[in-house]
Amino acid sequence: MAAETASGGKSSLSSSHGSPSGITPQRSSLTPSVSGLSTEAPYQFLDVAIDNSRGTPQAPTIELWGHGLELMHHYVLHTANTMSIRPDMQHVWRAVMPEIGYDCPFVMHGILTIAALHKGYLIPSERDKYLDLAASHQNAGLEAFRALLHTVDDNNWIPFFCFASLILFYVASDPVRMNKEHSLEDSPDVTSLFVFVRGIRAILEPYQSRLGKTNFGPMAQGVWIVDPGDPEYKDVFEALDYLTAFFKESLSDVAQDDYTTAVVELEKAAYLMAHAGANLEVGMIIFWPYIISENIMADIQSKNPYAMVLLSYFAVLFCVMEPTYWFLRGWSRRLIDMVDARLAGLPVLLEAVKWPRKQILDFSGHYCTVGSLR
């Protein structure tokens, strides 16, 4: 099936020559690869976590550190409990993580970063002040983390895991940190989040199996028993079945495999969320950027139209998370706006994103709920 162009002709998007898997983004040798790592600059994926939007934040001074007690107090009393729903995981964020931070400066910077970001979110009148503090601590922590990352081993991996977990929240908060008046061109780049997730996971994956034997054990435990017949997610599963059929009809055999596999992984995320009910955890959707193929990742980076269709369905899962997690708010609407802009003039593909667009736009301004995805 060929997609129609704005001029009424036929595009070659579904042909073997122009199929999504045949498109390779023009990346320089120093650009992070789609896997998140580059042989020339193995830690360059960390650049996406550098916050340059606040100008050039100064390194934390005595005056800035004077806010440390305030931020730590806020983190322990308020922020930590917003980072998870499960009480055992909240305990990890609230008590275990700071214990590591006492002995590791870059982990402490990470904690204060998230606390400052949260205060900036809660107090609009002091937003700039706290975002500046967040950027300062973030960049200082990232500098130390990057300098020592090559030393990670079986004996010292825990602080690196802690900071990587904290920094993920910061990278994921891109829409929250943006000014509301930003144009579509300035919208947060989801590929930065994906590249970061893939890069961090590639480095720390060898140590993941050890989490269960540490005080971070709750973070290794997830909701893995799922019920695909859950009525709350009936429309989600039906929509994903449609998406699979659409890709099979529209794409070449080579591209089909990558895209239908990506949909299967989206279904797994939906299963986890359906089983969790109100106890949603960020990890239920964050694993998807890591597990998709490099072809899909390259297509997302190059804004291939079929990758935009796939991304629109992922945005619905973001929408489900947004009422629970303040740092994710804004992603779903910005993503669907980006998808619509990219697919303008391609009515067949716009029709394919009709369902995710409706789910997201229907609840703009008052957030989606799991039971409302119908």
Domain total of the chain: 2
Q: Taking residues 297-307, what's their average pLDDT?
A: 94
Answer yes or no: is 13 within a domain. Answer: no
CA distance 374 to 372: 6
Examine the fold and report which residue of 220, 247, 263 is the final residue of a domain before the chain moves on.
Answer: 220
Give the pLDDT of residue 203: 82
Tell me the pLDDT of the chain averaged across its residues.
80
Answer yes or no: is 28 within a domain. Answer: no
Per-residue DSSP letter, 150: G
Return the SS3 of 64: helix
More confident residue, 368 or 136: 136
111 and 181 share a domain? yes
Answer yes or no: is 215 within a domain. Answer: yes
DSSP of 152-204: --TTTHHHHHHHHHHHHHHHHTHHHHS-TT--GGGS--HHHHHHHHHHHHHHH
Is the pLDDT at 134 greater than 90, yes or no?
Answer: yes
CA distance 349 to 183: 24
Give the pLDDT of residue 43: 64
Return the SS3 of 10: strand
Name the pLDDT band for 131 (thresholds 50, 70, 90).
Answer: very high
Give the pLDDT of residue 45: 62
More confident residue, 189 or 115: 115
138 neighbors 170 (Cβ within 8 angstroms): yes
Is the pLDDT at 71 greater than 90, yes or no?
Answer: yes
Least confident of 128-132, 280-284, 308-312, 367-371: 367-371
Q: Taking residues 249-275, what's their average pLDDT?
A: 87
Q: Taking residues 8-21, what's their average pLDDT?
A: 38
Give the pLDDT of residue 17: 37
Return the SS3 of 369: coil
Is the pLDDT at 18 greater than 50, yes or no?
Answer: no
Backbone angles phi, psi at 21, to 5 degrees: -70, -15
194 and 67 share a domain? yes
256 and 194 share a domain? no
- 328-344 pLDDT, tens per residue? 999 999 999 999 999 99
Give the pLDDT of residue 277: 72
Is the pLDDT at 362 greater than 70, yes or no?
Answer: yes
- 222-259 pLDDT, tens per residue? 544 344 455 555 677 889 899 999 999 999 888 999 99
264 and 331 share a domain? yes
135 and 260 share a domain? no
CA dihedral 210, 216, 220, 222 (to 10 degrees): 170
Examine the fold and report which residue of 154, 188, 220 is the final residue of a domain before the chain moves on.
Answer: 220
Give the pLDDT of residue 299: 94
More confident residue, 20 or 46: 46
Answer yes or no: is 35 within a domain. Answer: no
User: Of 323, 324, 336, 334, which is closest to residue 366 (Cα–Cα)?
Assistant: 323
User: Of 180, 191, 179, 143, which is closest to residue 163 (Cα–Cα)?
Assistant: 143
- 37-52 pLDDT, tens per residue? 555 556 666 666 666 6
Q: Taking residues 78-88, what's their average pLDDT?
A: 94
**Structural domain harbouring 141:** 44-220
| Residues above pLDDT 90, as percent of the chain | 50
Examine the fold and report which residue of 220, 253, 277 is the final residue of a domain before the chain moves on.
Answer: 220
